[in-house]
Amino acid sequence: MSSSLHAVDAELDAVARDADDPLRSFREEFLIPPHGDGHLHYFCGNSLGLQPRAAREVIELELDRWARLAVEGHFRGDTAWMTYHEGLRDGIAMLVGAKPIEVVAMNTLSVNLHLLMVSFYRPTHARPAILIEAGAFPSDRHAVESQIRFHGFDPAQCLIELAPDEPGGTLSMQTIADVIEREGNRIALVLWPGVQYRTGQAFDLAEITRLAHARGAMVGFDLAHAVGNLPLALHDADADFAAWCHYKYVNAGPGAVAGAFVHARHAHADLPRFAGWWGHEKTSRFAMGPQFVPAPGAEGWQLSNPPILAMAALRPALGIFQRAGMSRLREKSLRLTGYLESLIHEHLADVLHIVTPAETVRRGCQLSLRVREGRDAGRSLFEFLSENGVLGDWREPDVIRISPAPLYNTHLDVLRFAQLTAVWRDSTR
Ligand SMILES: *Cc1c(COP(=O)(O)O)cnc(C)c1O
**Cα gap 162→313, rounded to integer Å:** 37
> 396: CA distance to ligand 1 center in Å?
16
* Of 271, 390, 253, 265, residue with least CA distance to 309: 253
- Record the pTM: 0.97
Per residue in 75-120, pLDDT (tens digit) is: 999 999 999 999 999 999 999 999 999 999 999 999 999 999 999 9
Q: Are 84 and 196 part of one and the same domain?
A: yes
Q: Are 188 and 163 in contact (CB under 8 A)?
A: no
Q: Are 101 and 235 part of one and the same domain?
A: yes
Per residue in 239-281, pLDDT (tens digit) is: 999 999 999 999 999 999 999 999 999 999 999 999 999 999 9
> 68: CA distance to ligand 1 center in Å?
36
**Average pLDDT of the segment spanning 286-292:** 85
**Average pLDDT of the segment spanning 367-381:** 96
Q: Would the pLDDT of 224 be above 70?
A: yes
Residue 289: per-residue pLDDT = 84
> 273: CA distance to ligand 1 center in Å?
22
* Position in ligand 1 atom list of the atom nearest CA 140: 11
> 197: CA distance to ligand 1 center in Å?
9
**Average pLDDT of the segment spanning 129-148:** 98
Can you name the residues that pair with 129 across neighbouring β-strands? 187
The amino acid at 249: Y
Residue 168: per-residue pLDDT = 86
- How many independent structural domains does the chain possess? 2
- What strands, in cross-sheet order, belong to the sheet with 393-395? 352-354, 367-371, 399-402, 393-395
Can you name the residues that pair with 51 across neighbouring β-strands? 31
Burial 220-248 (b: 16+ CB within 10 A, else e): bbbbbbbbbbbbbebbebbbbbbbbbbbb
> 110: CA distance to ligand 1 center in Å?
6
Q: Are 200 and 286 part of one and the same domain?
A: yes
User: Which residues lie with the beta carbon below 6 Å from any ligand 1 atom?
Assistant: 108-110, 137, 139-140, 193, 197, 222, 224-225, 245
Q: What is the CATH number of the domain that holds 172?
A: 3.40.640.10
Burial grade of 195 (CB within 10 A; 0-12, 13-18, 19 or more): buried
Determine phi and psi for 129, rounding to 5 degrees: -90, 155
Q: Are 64 and 29 part of one and the same domain?
A: no
Domain that holds residue 167: 58-323
Q: Are 360 and 228 part of one and the same domain?
A: no
Q: Are 241 and 102 in contact (CB under 8 A)?
A: no
Q: Are 252 and 287 part of one and the same domain?
A: yes
Q: Whose CA is nearest to atom 14 of ligand 1?
A: 224
Q: Are 417 and 385 in contact (CB under 8 A)?
A: yes
Residue 166: per-residue pLDDT = 96
* Position in ligand 1 atom list of the atom nearest CA 136: 13
Q: Are 118 and 17 part of one and the same domain?
A: no
Q: Would the pLDDT of 200 be above 60?
A: yes
3-class secondary-structure state, position 105? strand
Q: Whose CA is nearest to atom 10 of ligand 1?
A: 139
Per residue in 6-31, pLDDT (tens digit) is: 888 999 999 999 999 999 999 999 99
Question: For a substitution probing ligand 1, which of 48, 106, 109 has the most ligand atoms within 8 Å of its CB?
Answer: 109
Q: Are 166 and 260 part of one and the same domain?
A: yes
> 245: CA distance to ligand 1 center in Å?
7
Q: Report the length, in residues, of the chain.
A: 429
Q: Would the pLDDT of 1 be above 70?
A: no
Q: What is the CATH number of the domain that holds 333?
A: 3.90.1150.10
- Which of 283, 305, 323 is the last residue in one of the domains? 323
Residue 2: per-residue pLDDT = 44
> 248: CA distance to ligand 1 center in Å?
9
Dmax (CA) for the chain in angstroms is: 74
